[in-house]
Chain A
Amino acid sequence: MSAAPTNTRTVNVTIDGHTLSVPEGMLVVEAAKRLGTQIPVYCYHPKLDPAGLCRICLVEIEKMPKLQIACATRVSEGMVVHTSSAKVAEARKGVLEFLLLNHPLDCPICDKGGECDLQDFTMSYGPGESRLTEPKLHKPKMVDLGPTIVLDEERCILCRRCTRFDDEIAQERNLIVDDRGFGSLIATRHGGEYTSYFSGNTTEICPVGALTSKAYRFRSRPWDLGHTDSICTQCSVGCNFRIDTRFGRIMRTFTRENTAVDDGWLCDRGRYTFNYLYSPHRLRTPSVKRDGARVDVTFAEAVALTAPRLADAAKAGRVGVIGGGRLSDEEAYALQRFTRDVLGTNNIDYRAHLQKFATPSRFGAHLTDLDDASLILMFGALTPEQAPILDLRIRRAVARGHAKLMYVGPYRPELPVEARYVDYPPGEIADLMNQLADVVHHGKEETGEGFVAEIAQELASSEKIIAIHHGRDPRGAEALERLMETLHRFDHPVGILVVGATSNARGAEAAGCVPNLGPGYSPVSGAPGMTTNQMLAAAAAGKLDALLVIGANPALTFSDGDLVRRALAKVPFLAVADQVMTETASYADVVFASASFAEKRGHVTNLEGRRQPFAAAIDSPIEVRDDAQLVAALAVALERGDVVSADPDVLYAQLRAAEAVSQPSHATDASLPRPLADTPPAPADTHDGAFTVIPIPHLYAGGGGVAFDPGTAAMRPSPYATFHPDDAARIGVIEGGRVTLTGKGGSIEVDARVALNVPRGFVLVLADMPEAPENRLLDESGFGRATAVSAGVKVRAAG
């Protein structure tokens, strides 16, 4: 972004006869906006540096001999601007005439028609009649830029918003201007693809119909779309977006800028993952297992089958509930209410993933804290894959040169911006943070290991420090908070962000979907219930009679893949609610069809604790219910209908009331109680010739909707495992080959990759892929040991 002078001095500027006072150095185009005066722009975009290319924004400024561009000229005291003088009008007409010279008049079939700035400005400012008898020069109209975007070169007006977005915002620099002059084209490198996680944004900022998304091409006209304000639930950032529908069907999603959260951008997973709703894999009706086959039933039948089983198990104190992290705040509240007040147990846990906590008990930070951070410490989390829009803030802070990024972990992921890597063995990061806290606390004289002292020095010399944690390791979290406290005591502004494994992990935690805490982090009365791990262990040991899993897929995502599968197979009664047939659901006696984010309303809480409302955009299929309706129906069946409401407004009020009582404080000097968590053992360290498995997140991994979404299928990775070249050579595995990994819970066969950023003795395995669940190799620690054997060469289809 432009280095606009940031002072508070104001100047008086006169625009079209109206004088107003604006901050000195403001761009003329922005000052005009304050008066409600629109100056047409193409290349200008408020989030990008001024480029001054398109020349449509030329205005007349008194005492300047030539017209000036409003998008790059800054106001000064006494400046007098005319935005619609005859000279200005002529220049605008000229620019429009030049742009239209070879622009195809295919507006009737152009996706942008109706929301096109070329169309609109031509109507407002263009020449009344065309003198263009010039034959149009033709260019390719369907250039496939990559898996998501198609370029129409004829429509492109070369404003370069897209390439500048890819450069300045995404910092990826794969979209370029090729050639020069009249031959200029938007392109990728020779034979390359535009595969950014942020590609969809280019279709929005494209002022014409040059860049279109494959997902939306020729699907609808803008004026036929209904708009619903919603929140993306594909990750824990909580980007604000708009769902555009036509005839009750989602056509596309669109940014709805919230500068504090998304800054006006969406990632492609968030933008494009909705077509699974229309795939045959979408669950449209509940089903039950009968004689080994799955049979569709009505919602009422499914409830009637489930309620008594849960009640019986509850009576015996042998029931458990897993879920909440993918639910709305209201649903999560309803679920814990049902569990505690209807089933009478504290056996509830939203943690079906490696994640163990979502709320920093102290020093919780906001996303905007990244903007002026001087040091960003990433502990284990991998934000480019897990929270892409958060990662854009990191990229910007680092690219602007005021923030340093430090990555602490057992391997060196490729990060989009420069980072310092601190290699540290898995499971021992807590030790490192404790050592750092000691060194920072005792000052320089007490030096630990060389690099510990060095990092401590880096910490001490940085002003504002923001740490990003993956929340998998409670001991690490405690150590991190201790380190932050030490730094805080030395007057460093500090903050912690915990990236959620699911969209509403933090909301579920706040709503009380943990064994020891109720809504608002209030300690439960009576003994805490069982954690997910304990429930699964109990189920596997035959000590649990019924398990209710709502909006979770522990079979794929729980760390100990062996335990979870044994438990799900063993438990006498399993009911699962989800939107698609997951591995977990495949074990279930009863499967409920859940409403999607687009089919319900409520709130979700993002990773920084911001609670945001979303509205229903479409109706759900007739036998589909949202999860609050489900538990409310179960409560009714158990004659406790008074306890659990299905109404989001009632639930929200109840949640707020409960929170008001518990009065959780986010102040840095208070601390929130932490959810009960088992302390995982350190990863096994045996010299058995096996590899330590590190699960690697990927934006498009997952076993839910994304696994069945035709819109994102092209971006979905094929499962893989990456070895250090020396290890690969030792076991006879080659890049592009196949490898079989065998661990505690069985084997998976995946593509083999070889890379230098993997330490020897480790294997990085793509996580959360139903085709090859990496949790077969993991244990409770979230890591695991696996042997690897070459499985030959990958067979590829010809051509």
Chain B
Amino acid sequence: MADFEPVLTKGFGSLDLTDLAVYRKTGGFEALTKAMRDMTPEAVVNEVSASNLRGRGGAGFPTGKKWSFLPKDGRPRYLVCNSDEAEPGTFKDHMLLENAPFNLIEGLVLAAYAINAKRIFIYIRGEFLQGYRIFSKALADARAAGFVGHDILGSGYSVEIVAHRGAGAYICGEETAQLNSLEGKRGEPRLKPPFPANAGLYGMPTVVNNVETLMYVPHIITRGAQWFASIGPEKSPGPKVISVSGHVVKPGNYEIPLGITVRELIDGYAGGLRPGRTVKAVQPGGGSSAAIFAEDLDCGIDFESLAAKKTMLGSGAVVVMDDTACMVRSAVTLNRFYEHESCGQCTPCREGGQWVHRMVARLEAGEGSEQDLRILGTINRTITGTNLCALGDSIMPFLQSVMTRFPDEFKAHVTQAGCPLRLRKESAA
């Protein structure tokens, strides 16, 4: 940990990396120059494959493999950059977009070159108006400098980037919903197959990559796959930006080598908890992930270690809840979120998600029943794994994990007709 130097976030806070000249001084666009001069698209794909870079958006799919899936049938191909960050607790892409737009542009062009795409669309979350403006300005500067557009750096390769603002829908972070949205449709996930690699944007072969994923690409090209692969665990190597929030003293984005423990992250990076408080629950991978608890803090932050704890790294959003947090109240915010953000296509997600929220909200309000607890205890069997996309699978993990770990707290909401923590606080006051 001590010898780890941040990669993407290096210079944040001290350098204005939205200035092209500053970015270039830090080695910016060297990777692109190298690739345009010396590398074939296949060489770029091979380098990224060798680095074992896995997607930073949540699913963790190997990036090089994704790029090599495209059918070679002469149809136009598209690269879509997913910057629709909206997973509860995740705020890394928001920061990266606003602070390092050129690193992203360089990654975009490299990836497009690797897959031989002539057009790139970056789907920027509608709420990130500032990020959209910063990116658009950087794009104009990069185009003027010849890094984007026609015949990049004399290589003969040309690519255009279009920045597209979303309009308010979490589900558009799901790649096929994003493609529909980009096509001017309702942001509803598509039936798969066909997969985007075959029939994506406008029915053409398409790669969708996350912002952070693409930003590592220039660094891999410059410093080599071996450098990247040597950081962190063998199966999920590399640095990763982790968003830490909730009950910590210094919430923020921290770029870490994957594999450090949750405890190291909370205490070593995020300033620990407030004095006198203890960890009650930690959501390690965004709103869709099951919580881990005080006894799990030595778990490594990487794809495999968290999977072993029946949760996930996801987008790398760590939300820390200390002993003052009511688990029912916490669950209400997430279940309300999934109700609000369901696209409404699938019955279990649309109806079940709403029902779960209704029941949890009822518990929180002190109006819940034993029957609600019984239903909530088993409803994951019909909600999880029965929908067209993964949103429905996100409804239950957190709720289920905290209900299992803190059954008494949930029961108390029924027997005491309200939140025991709040009641305790009120009686103390």
Taking Cβ atoms with an 8 Å cutoff, the residues of A that contact B are 50-56, 58, 66-67, 72, 90-91, 93-95, 97-99, 101-102, 131, 133-134, 157-158, 177, 179-184
Contact = CB atoms under 8 A, between A and B. Distances in A.
Q: What 4 A-B pairs have minimum CB-CB distances, sorted nearest first?
A: A94-B382, A98-B351, A184-B344, A181-B342
A472 B194 CA distance: 49
A182 B351 contact: yes
B351 A99 contact: yes
A98 B352 contact: yes
Contact of B339 (A52, A95, A177, A182): A182
11 contacts: A54-B346, A54-B347, A55-B346, A55-B347, A177-B186, A179-B344, A180-B169, A180-B343, A180-B344, A181-B340, A184-B344
Contacts of B379: 94
Contacts of A133: 371
Given A52-B191, A94-B386, A133-B371, A177 B344 contact: yes
B353 interface: yes
Interface residues of B, number: 30
Contact of A180 (B342, B352, B354, B381): B342
B219 interface: no
Given A72-B191, A90-B381, A95-B382, A158 B387 contact: no
A95 B388 CA distance: 13
B388 A53 contact: yes
A66 B385 contact: yes
Interface in B376-421: 379, 381-383, 385-388
A99 B379 CA distance: 14
Interface in B327-362: 339-348, 350-355, 358
B375 interface: yes
A111 B341 CA distance: 34
Contact of B350 (A52, A58, A181): A181
B113 to A, nearest CB: 32
Main secondary structure of the interface of A (DSSP, over half): loop
Interface string B23-34: 000000000000
A102 to B, nearest CB: 7
Contacts of A90: 381-382
B348 A55 contact: yes
A134 B339 CA distance: 17
Contacts of B347: 53-56, 95, 98-99, 157-158
A101 B386 contact: no
With a 10 A CB-CB cut-off, give which of A90, A102, A181 has the most chain B CB atoms. A181
Nearest to A94: B382
Given A94-B381, A94-B383, A94-B386, A101 B351 contact: yes
Nearest to A183: B344
A154 to B, nearest CB: 13
Given A94-B352, A98-B352, A158 B382 contact: no
Contact of B375 (A99, A131, A158): A131
Contacts of B382: 90-91, 93-95, 97-98
Nearest to A160: B345
B175 to A, nearest CB: 17
Given A133-B371, A158-B350, A182-B339, A55 B386 contact: yes
Contact of B386 (A58, A131, A177, A183): A58
Contacts of B346: 52-55
Nearest to B391: A181
A223 B370 CA distance: 42
Contacts of A134: 355, 358
B247 to A, nearest CB: 30
B344 A158 contact: yes
Nearest to B338: A181
A181 B351 contact: no
B354 A95 contact: no
B348 A184 contact: no
Contacts of A53: 345-347, 388
A206 to B, nearest CB: 16
Nearest to A103: B351
A181 B386 contact: no
Contact of A52 (B344, B353, B358, B388): B388
B351 A91 contact: no
A158 B341 CA distance: 17
A102 B352 CA distance: 11
Contacts of A94: 348, 352, 379, 381-383, 386
B390 to A, nearest CB: 11
Nearest to B354: A182
A101 B169 CA distance: 25
Nearest to B351: A98
B231 to A, nearest CB: 32
A133 B385 CA distance: 25
Contacts of A101: 351, 355
A55 B387 contact: yes
Contacts of B339: 181-182
Contacts of A180: 169, 186, 342-344
Contacts of A66: 385
A55 B386 CA distance: 7
Contacts of A52: 191, 346, 388
A86 to B, nearest CB: 11
A158 B348 CA distance: 12
A56 B382 CA distance: 11
Contact of A50 (B191, B351, B387): B191
Nearest to A157: B347
A47 to B, nearest CB: 17
A33 to B, nearest CB: 20
A750 to B, nearest CB: 40
A90 B379 CA distance: 11
A74 to B, nearest CB: 9
A98 B343 CA distance: 16
Contacts of B386: 55, 58, 67, 91, 94-95
Contacts of B375: 131
A219 B169 CA distance: 43
A131 B388 CA distance: 26
Interface in B162-195: 169, 186, 191
A718 to B, nearest CB: 37
Nearest to B384: A66
A134 B375 CA distance: 11
A305 to B, nearest CB: 68
Contacts of B358: 134
Contacts of A91: 382, 386
B365 to A, nearest CB: 14
Nearest to B343: A180
Nearest to B353: A182
A181 to B, nearest CB: 4
A351 B350 CA distance: 58
B329 to A, nearest CB: 21
A179 B187 CA distance: 11
Contacts of B342: 180-182
B318 to A, nearest CB: 27
B344 to A, nearest CB: 4
B317 to A, nearest CB: 22
A97 B351 CA distance: 9
A51 B354 contact: no
Contact of A131 (B340, B353, B371): B371
Nearest to A71: B191
A99 B191 CA distance: 21
Contacts of A54: 346-347
A52 B388 CA distance: 7
Contacts of B186: 177, 180
B385 A181 contact: no
A101 B382 CA distance: 14
A216 to B, nearest CB: 27
With a 10 A CB-CB cut-off, give which of A52, A67, A98 has the most chain B CB atoms. A98
Nearest to B169: A180
Contacts of B388: 52-53, 55
With a 10 A CB-CB cut-off, give which of B347, B350, B375 has the most chain A CB atoms. B347
Contacts of A179: 344
